[in-house]
């Protein structure tokens, strides 16, 4: 692996961790928002949509870093 490839992988791993933290934070924010009696439905939908988009990006980076092995 050359230096550029190593830097790319390191950068992807760092970005993956950032996305996982943001996803976890959104999960906690959603839980708190759902518990409030006057929860904002529009905000809930937006946060859920953002969380789903993050999940998709996380999965994409994971596929790049750890591709499926061919049988």
Q: Mind listing the pLDDT tens digit for each residue in 10-63?
A: 999 999 999 999 999 999 999 998 888 777 889 899 999 999 999 999 999 999
The answer to the question of residue 70 being in a domain is no
List C-alpha distances in Å: 1 to 9, 15, 32, 59, 68: 10, 20, 45, 23, 19
User: For residue 69, is it within any domain?
Assistant: no
CA distance 70 to 40: 46
Instruction: Say if 71 falls within a structural domain.
Output: no
Domain that holds residue 26: 3-64
Is the pTM higher than 0.85? The answer reads: no
Q: How many domains does the chain have?
A: 1
Closest CA to 58 of 30, 31, 26: 26
């Amino acid at each position: 692996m050359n230096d550029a490839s190593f830097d790319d992988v390191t950068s992807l791993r760092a970005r993956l961790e950032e996305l996982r933290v943001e996803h976890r934070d959104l999960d906690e924010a959603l839980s708190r928002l759902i518990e409030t009696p006057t929860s904002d439905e529009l905000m809930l939908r937006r946060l859920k949509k953002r969380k789903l988009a993050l999940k998709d990006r996380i999965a994409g980076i994971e596929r790049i870093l750890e591709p499926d092995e061919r049988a």
